[in-house]
């Protein structure tokens, strides 16, 4: 049963990525946030994957989410921006995200981990959370021992949401996950597939931020730290 769910997830991710590849690029401008030294362990580490074709770093949503989380918790929150090309390479992002989580688990036993992703980055998180074995080019699955260290998951504009929430494929994270889809975002809520270009602005990062959804996710996560 678990294998079938994981394979179904992979299929949904492939379809989501295909949709994103033929959609207009989500290009935003943001600065790369330097990472804190690995020698000191923070209270919380957010591992966030940016959206398709955003410049290297956390992207607009990742940046806004971490700023809000710091303000709401007053804790030392370190940000790790998943290192991947953010074009179609979900596998590269998933491998990097999983490696980082495992590294933090090993080096910082008291650090709580928050997983996040927007658009293509949400697909990266989908694979890490719901595929517990090596498959194709995903070679670094999370060990079961890492599950208890993940305090919360925040996903935005997730292309596989139309197929079911992440909890369908990975129920262990159900109570710790918030998935947000803005309005008629054609990636996560394709209400009018033939006219998806008209609704494309609903998928863009500023739409999520202005609608208060990033702040909503930060409230959800802060309550679990």
Residues 6+ apart with CB under 8 A from 54: 26, 27, 28, 30, 60, 86, 205
Kindly state the tokens that stand for 144: 């079961």
* Distance between first and last Cα of the chain: 31
Active site residue 185: yes
CA triplet 55, 57, 60: central angle to 5 degrees? Answer: 75
Question: Tokens in use for 94?
Answer: 């998933």
Q: Which of these is catalytic: 126, 170, 182, 203?
A: 203
Length of the chain: 225
Out of 119, 126, 184, 202, the active site residue is: 119
Q: What is the DSSP letter of 164?
A: -
Is 203 considered catalytic here? yes
Cβ atoms 162, 189 nearer than 8 A: yes
Task: List Cβ neighbours of 182 (8 Å cut-off, separation of 6 or more).
Answer: 156, 157, 202, 203, 207, 208, 211, 213
Number of H helices, E strands in the chain: 7, 5
Q: Which two tokens stand for residue 161?
A: 């949401």
Tell me whether residue 119 is one of the annotated catalytic residues: yes
- Which residue out of 96, 126, 185, 202 is catalytically annotated? 185
Q: Annotated catalytic sites, by residue?
A: 119, 185, 203
């Amino acid at each position: 049963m678990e294998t079938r769910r994981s394979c179904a997830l992979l299929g949904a991710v492939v379809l989501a990525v295909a949709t994103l590849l033929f959609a207009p690029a989500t290009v935003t401008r943001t600065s790369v946030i330097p990472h804190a030294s690995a020698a000191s362990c923070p209270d919380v580490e957010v591992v966030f994957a940016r959206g398709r074709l955003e410049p290297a770093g956390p992207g607009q949503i990742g940046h806004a989410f971490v700023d809000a989380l710091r303000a709401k918790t007053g804790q030392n929150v370190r940000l790790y921006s998943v290192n991947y090309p953010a074009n179609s390479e979900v596998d590269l992002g998933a491998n990097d995200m999983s490696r980082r989580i495992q590294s933090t688990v090993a080096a910082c036993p008291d650090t709580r981990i928050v997983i996040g992703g927007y658009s293509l980055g949400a697909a990266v998180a989908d694979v890490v959370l719901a595929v517990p074995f090596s498959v194709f080019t995903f070679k670094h699955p999370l060990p079961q021992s890492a599950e208890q260290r993940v305090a919360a998951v925040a996903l935005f504009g997730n292309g596989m949401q139309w197929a079911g929430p992440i909890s369908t494929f990975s129920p262990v994270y159900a109570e710790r996950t918030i998935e947000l889809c803005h309005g008629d975002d054609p990636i996560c809520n394709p209400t009018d597939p033939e006219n998806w270009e008209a609704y494309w602005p609903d998928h863009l990062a500023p739409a999520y931020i202005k609608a208060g959804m990033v702040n909503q996710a930060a409230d959800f996560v802060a309550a679990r730290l």
